[in-house]
Amino acid sequence: RGVYAVSRLQMLMRPAAPVALASITSSVNSSFVQIRFDDVLFHENCGGGSFGTDEHGLKIQQAAEAAGKDPLSFCTDVSERFRRLFAQCNISYTDFIRTSDPVHQRAVERFWTVLLDKGLIYKGTYEGWYSTQDESFLTPLQVADALDSSGKDIKISLESGHKVEWMKEENYMFRLSAFHSQLLDWLRGNPRAIQPERFRQDVLQWLQEEQPDLSVSRQRSSLRWGIPVPGDPEQTIYVWLDALVNYLTVAGYPDGHQRWWNSVNHVIGKDILKFHAIYWPAFLLGAGLPPPRAISVHSHWTVGGRKMSKSVGNVVDPVEKSQRFTTDGLRCSSSSTPSSPTRWAAC
């Protein structure tokens, strides 16, 4: 028995091969487990796991403004493109969840309230570096000096290369520091919790340092497109807490998730490993729930040795490739190793 939930799809790009990779990998794994156990799904009906779109956050708000659309209309247009991609590539799913769905908002509000009632969320002040592109808070050791395209001095994230800005806000904080030992115990006691092994070692290395408490809200004046903090309309719930709860939403949280949650598997990209392997398990432990049974991590697709990037223009169109090589051909190449004869690879 297994439950497969693929990581959220980015809203700022048209569907491209990196998006299809996690989806196809999850679909292939789901199909394999279904053949063996015939009980792989979130519900009784047939399908291939959970897919969907992560729609809230400052960068979505800014992109919608640039497109001259309200955020919901902007997200609806992009979300439909992914639905069409899945249909064209014969990727099935049990649930296609949008984080703007009302059922998801109710799940997030309940999850927040549980953490708050347990004393794990408190009002505080966050001061530090923030990457809007990554929707990520960064420590000084994760930031470096750089020059932008005009030659201006800026700070960037060492991990992603995206620009970061200094911010100071009165926000709600999550007591992440209280879960350091529990996270280490979980990883050391479950050698297959994160696969491949090198990614588990990455997380263990991160946890060699104490984790500071995490800001889990933004002021509503700066971030309007998101779920308001229950009882405090001046604050918006941090996009990653919001987005990660979608895995619970599709499992029926807060009332119907018990049957499936102990069997949950995540399929994610390596660039969001910290959110899934540190923040998410800590949130779950705080709410009295077990971490995922397994987190399967895939690497980036490359073309000519470079990561696929919309800005670079080296993306592969999965629809065009599926039409050229057939859907099964695309699935085969997506599941192959970097040494395979395909012209793009994962590394």
**Which tens digits make up the pLDDT trace of 286-295?**
999 999 999 9
pLDDT (tens digit, 9 = 90+) per residue, 251-275?
889 998 888 888 888 888 888 899 9
Cβ burial 64-99 (10 Å sphere, 16+ → b, else e)? beeeeeebeebbeebbebbeebbeebebebbbbbbb
- CA distance linking residue 174 with residue 213, whole number of Å: 6
Q: Which of 88-92, 153-157, 210-214 has the lowest mean pLDDT?
A: 88-92
Q: Work out the average pLDDT over 209-236.
A: 92
Res 342 pLDDT > 60: no
- 50-53 and 294-298: which strand pairing? unpaired
Task: Using the Cα atoms of residue 199, residue 210, residue 57 and residue 243 in order, give the sign of their dihedral.
Answer: positive
Res 344 pLDDT > 50: no
Nearest partner of 249 among 228, 267, 264, judged by Cα? 264
> Given pLDDT bands bounded at 50, 70 and 90, which one contains residue 72?
very high
pLDDT (tens digit, 9 = 90+) per residue, 135-157?
888 888 889 999 888 889 999 99
Q: Which of 81-95, 211-225, 303-317 has the lowest mean pLDDT?
A: 303-317
Beta bridge partners of 138: 129
Q: Which of 23-37, 192-206, 240-254, 318-332 has the lowest mean pLDDT?
A: 23-37
For residue 199, what are its two tokens? 């990614």
